[in-house]
Each structure stands twice: as C-alpha cells, then as structure tokens.
Amino acid sequence: MVKLSYSSALVKSSIYDVIKDLPKAELHLHIEGTLEPELLFQIARRNQVSIPYQTVQELRLAYKFNNLQDFLDIYYAGASVLIHEQDFYDLTWAYLERAYQQNICHVEIFFDPQTHTDRGISFDVVINGITKALENAQKRWGITFHVFMCFLRHLDEISAIKTLETALPYRSKIIGVGLDSSENGHPPSKFERVFAKARQEGFLTVAHAGEEGPPNYIWQALDLLKVMRIDHGNRAMEDEVLLSTLAKRQVPLTMCPLSNMKLNVIRQLTDHPLKKMLDKGILVTVNSDDPAYFGGYLNENYQVIAKALNLSVAQIGILAKNSFQASVMGADQKEQYFKQVDRIISQYP
C-alpha cells in the first residue's frame, strides 16, 4: 500500500516534469487576454485611465464568469487601458517572458484590432508594439512567432471589411485572420465574404467555433471560411460525422482547458473532451486562450488536463508534437521539434 502511493507520487511528478521540459508551441492566445491585473493598474495609472476597481485583489475577485459574454465584458474593459505603442509592447513582452520560462519555443498569437481602433487607437500603434516585442523575444530567446488578427464577430461585416483594408499595409506582419468574441447568434456565415477577401489577399484563416456555438458553426468555419484550424471545437463531440471529418482531414483543434472551465463550457475538467478526441486521432492541441483571466498559462493548462484525464507521458508528448504540427512553421523546423520531443519523452518511464 505504502509502495503504491509512493510510486504514484513519482509518476505524478514525472508528468509535471515532462510538461516543463518539453518544447511547446502556443497557437491560441489572445494577447489582450494576457493583461495581468498588476500591469493593467500600472498602465491605467500612467495613461490616467480610470477603472472601476481600487485594487488588484478587487479586480481579481471580479474574474468570476458564468459564460463567455461575462468574460468578454471584463476583457474589453481591461483592454481599454492600452493606448500607446509602449503599452502593447509591455503587454506582449510580459507574456513572452512567461512563454520563455515555460519552454514555449513558438507562438502564434491573436490580437483584436477593432477593440482598439474603435476607441481611436491607430492600427499601427497596436501592431508595432506587439511586433517589436515579438522580434526582441526572437532575438533574445529564439522564440519564433506569427500574428493573426481576429475579427470581432459581434460587430458587423462592414466593420470586418474595413479592418481587413486597414491591415493590408501591414500584411508582412500578419499571417492570417481569425474570428472571435460572442459566438452564439454570430455564425461564421456572417463573415464568409470578408474571409474570402482575406484569402485572396494571401492571409491564412482560423476561427473560433464550437466553444459555445453548435457543431454547425464548426462545419461553417470549415466549408465557408476554409479555416486551417478550429479554435476550441469542443462541441464537435455532438456530431460523429464532424469528428471523423476532423480526424480524416487532420484539422487541428486548439483547445483551452482552463478557459473552458472558467467559462462553463464544461462542468468539470474530467468532462473535457480532449482525451476522447485524441483517441479518435484528432489533432488536438493545448493552449491558454486568456491566461491572465483564467488562472494559468500554457504549462498549467497541460498540468490540469493531464491530471484530470490521467494522460500518459506518451500522450503529453503527442500533444507537444501536435502543437508544432498544427503550427504554420516550416516542415524542417517541425521535424527538429519532433525529434526533441521524442528525445525528452524517452527519458521518462
């Protein structure tokens, strides 16, 4: 009996060590969702923006959400302190410091241009601040990166088209477009034309789908928006044909366990569909979504899901490999990371 609990403690620490040791890519990360309360207060003070909370503790206490919309209301309010290029730089740099500490070697991050341009902040302020931080992290730590801009789906098509036009001069800094914000009532079909234009202009496409919305929104993202990845995709579980299509076409799902918990997409982590999807051969990845709001960065997401679903070391290795496979990086770079993952996994029982 004693021996059994001793060995299970060893196995548990192995899983946590392997998560720390493995190189990983993060593919579903809203940079505005990395704004920690401390930095939020610091930036609000220097920009003389007033916020309806007195202290960091008070703000953190407000991070209780019943659903996606509850979160989005606070998330957009938080982003309103970001005004100058330096603010976007500091925000991005703070995330990259964490990424480096967590052995994240490649990031593909989202930003929401309309959240800022609708407040009168110019597009170049936002993209320049974000990009400069990414370039510095690449120089300093070798973290490679790509940037996707998301259209806010609660706004209309015209606003998305204007945003795409505004982004065209910055094409070299933005690899693709995505779709985020309030999902229900805002199907991918609403954005079919702007995504077609984005593809014509050479942008890659991804979209949030099946977080709160029905499986049909995932079909629409695939068939109408021609996305290369689905962000979240939890509700694919309700449609067997969709599941086998995702597996057959190897369409990646960028899943976010802590986000799903905090936004009541799942009742408890043990209900998370990630393992069932892995078992069906779907290319699932683990990501942090909006870590400042959901209580953990990438490694914490791996840890909680590994524990809740009793994932093996080999399955953690598959998730790390999937993160590179689902990324935009070139085949040679992917191969290098696959080898690194295999070497590290082979050192664990």
Catalytic residue numbers, as ranges: 211
* Among the listed residues 102, 144, 181, 301, the single contact to ligand ADE using CB under 6 A: 181
Residue nearest to Zn ion (CB): 289
> CB of 213: closest distance to Zn ion in angstroms?
13
Q: What are the two backbone dihedrals, phi and then psi, of residue 4, each rounded to the nearest 5 degrees?
A: -65, -45
Which residues between 285 and 314 bind Zn ion (CB under 5 A)?
289
* Among the listed residues 290, 298, 299, 306, the single contact to ligand ADE using CB under 6 A: 290
Which residues between 224 and 263 bind ligand ADE (CB under 6 A)?
259
Q: Does 30 bind ligand ADE (CB under 6 A)?
A: yes
Q: Can you tell me the distance from the alpha carbon of 19 to that of 298, in angstroms, rounded to the nearest whole number?
A: 10
Q: Which option in ligand ADE, Zn ion, none does residue 26 bind, with CB closer than 5 to 8 A by kind? A: none
Nearer to Zn ion, 243 or 256 (CB): 256
CB atoms within 10 A of CB 269: 16
Q: Does 112 bind Zn ion (CB under 5 A)?
A: no
Q: What are the two backbone dihedrals, phi and then psi, of residue 329, each rounded to the nearest 5 degrees?
A: -65, 160
Choices 74-82, 125-133, 240-248, 284-292; region in contact with Zn ion by CB under 5 A: 284-292
Query: Looking up tokens 């942090």, which residue turns up?
Result: 288
Q: Can you tell me the distance from the alpha carbon of 12 to that of 21, in angstroms, rounded to the nearest whole number?
A: 14
Q: Can you tell me the distance from the alpha carbon of 148 to that of 176, in angstroms, rounded to the nearest whole number?
A: 5
CA distances from 266 to 3, 72, 80, 143, 299 (A): 35, 18, 29, 32, 20
Q: Does 68 bind ligand ADE (CB under 6 A)?
A: yes
Total interface residues for ligand ADE by CB under 6 A: 11
CA distances from 149 to 44, 95, 117, 249, 300 (A): 24, 17, 13, 25, 25
Nearer to Zn ion, 90 or 289 (CB): 289
3-class SS at 209? Answer: strand
> CB of 11: closest distance to ligand ADE in angstroms?
32
Q: Can you tell me the distance from the alpha carbon of 139 to that of 121, in angstroms, rounded to the nearest whole number?
A: 28
Spatial contact of 110 and 178, defined as CB atoms under 8 Å apart: yes
Residue nearest to ligand ADE (CB): 180
Q: Which option in Zn ion, ligand ADE, none does residue 181 bind, with CB closer than 5 to 8 A by kind? A: ligand ADE
* Among the listed residues 44, 160, 180, 251, the single contact to ligand ADE using CB under 6 A: 180
Residue window 31-50: x/- pattern of binding to ligand ADE, with contact defined by CB under 6 A: --x-----------------
HSE (side-chain half, CA atoms, 13 Å) at 224: 17
Interacting residues with Zn ion (CB under 5 A)? 289
Interacting residues with ligand ADE (CB under 6 A)? 30, 33, 68, 75, 180-181, 208, 211, 259, 289-290
